Amino acid sequence: MNDIPKQTTLILSHQQIQDILQRMAYQLWEEMGDAAAIVVMGISPRGFQLAEDLKRIWAGFSGAPPLEVISYEAWQQSKSPSIPEGADVVLFDDVINTGVTMFRAMAQMAALAPRRLLIGVLVHRDHLRFPVHPEIVGYTLSTTYQEHIYVILDKENYRAVLA
């Protein structure tokens, strides 16, 4: 992670992030509860870690379809990247800044023709440079181009700060 400046403003505490992830898991179930298989591709490292947290919450839902979490970067580097036939795919990250990473990932996923492709993000900044519109959003914050959002996922101290 980039060096985090010393002067920051807390925007999400550990408990708030846990509550948001719980809500996002329910929203995912509402959006994709009819799926035969769901693949959540976490953008490493933080998007993948948050996707693993979603999976732990998902495991507590009775009757929910199977959910598999894959690291997007590991998937890209595999010899024959694929997804299960007919799977619904969620690309998941901690923050969408400019949208370029998510835009490129969407293009790769679309080529594999998933049944459905959604974007999930913990913190969404409102000014993107690419046409990326997440359907599953934890928290939306309008910032200036000079401000940065950092999501810190220490073991028992998740937090998001603005610098």
Indicate the domain borders of the chain. 15-162
Residue showing tokens 């035969």: 36
Q: Is 60 exceeded by the pLDDT of residue 1?
A: no
Determine the pLDDT at residue 152: 97
Determine the pLDDT at residue 2: 61
Nearest to 49 by CA among 120, 153, 163, 160: 153
3-state secondary structure of 36: coil
Q: For residues 157 and 163, what is the distance between their CA atoms, to the nearest angstrom?
A: 18
Determine the pLDDT at residue 92: 97
Q: For residues 24 and 33, what is the distance between their CA atoms, to the nearest angstrom?
A: 13
Q: What is the pLDDT of residues 28-65, one digit of tens each?
A: 999 998 999 999 999 989 999 999 999 999 999 999 99
Determine the pLDDT at residue 89: 95
| Confidence band for 74, pLDDT divided at 50, 70 and 90 | confident
Pairing, β 67-71 against β 38-42: parallel
- Tell whether domain 15-162 is in CATH 3.40.50.2020: yes
Residue with more model confidence, 97 or 102 = 102
